[in-house]
Amino acid sequence: MAVGTSNYWEDLRKQARQLENELDLKLVSFSKLCTSYSHSSARDGRRDSSDTTPLLNGSSQDRMFETMAIEIEQLLARLTGVNDKMAEYTNSAGVPSLNAALMHTLQRHRDILQDYTHEFHKTKANFVAIRERENLMGSVRKDIESYKSGSGVNNRRTELFLKEHDHLRNSDRLIEETISIAMATKENMTSQRGMLKSIQSKMNTLANRFPAVNSLIQRVNLRKRRDSLILGGVIGVCTILLLLYAFH
């Protein structure tokens, strides 16, 4: 019976790892698609050509986006189901020590699922925002081109307006890059803070578990504090003697 349940747990872990690997690859491709869409839209905005090619390119990328989003959502749903099965198994396990190890493994897979879900929604939201902005810019660009072709005037004011439009697009891109860097830095600092809290918690647990170690640490801290006071007193006396010597 134990062998059968152990095999069931290992099968669930293999399924979870396989789905996590597939999700990792899909999310990388999904992020590249979003980046390439942004770059191609920027190139299309700077290029003077007909509207046929950009529209076809955008439509193709939109279809790829929808297909990949559905595939990733399905993988996330399957991984959630596997995690739920693993949770049911840990609740039914009878050995406390074994149950603690299984809960640690389950929590790790849940964290991975949460990270992948957050990354997917973030990338999807960025893609949608870029697409909506490019559609808006494309509409503005068409209006400008329609005005130019209808009036037949290529005056200085129109050129200045187009240059200002390009400047705004470049400023928007730089702001997005700065925000992305700031968000990445924040996430990194949050992760480091979590690691430090975990280390501190483990040290406190270890100190509470071993009173002799805790007592030794307190004595070391007392001795360090005493040495610091002695050193500070010696430095103060030496400083006073030097000042007396200097003024006499």
Tell me, yes or no, if the pTM score tops 0.75.
no
Averaged pLDDT, 9-34: 89
Residue 119, Cβ density class (10 Å: 0-12 exposed, 13-18 middle, ≥19 buried):
middle
pLDDT digits (tens, 9 = 90+) for 124-170: 888 888 778 777 776 666 666 665 555 545 566 777 778 887 878 88
- On average, the pLDDT of the chain sits at 77
Q: Is pLDDT above 90 for 81?
A: yes
**What DSSP string runs through 9-40?**
HHHHHHHHHHHHHHHHHHHHHHHHHHHHHHHH
Residue 58, pLDDT score: 55
Residue 54, pLDDT score: 42
Smallest CA-to-CA distance from 140 within 165, 118, 120, 157 is with 165
Residue 205, pLDDT score: 73
Q: Is pLDDT above 70 for 102?
A: yes
The answer to whether the CB of 99 falls within 8 A of the CB of 10 is: no
Q: Is pLDDT above 50 for 47?
A: no
Angle of CA points 111, 113, 119, to nearest 5°: 100
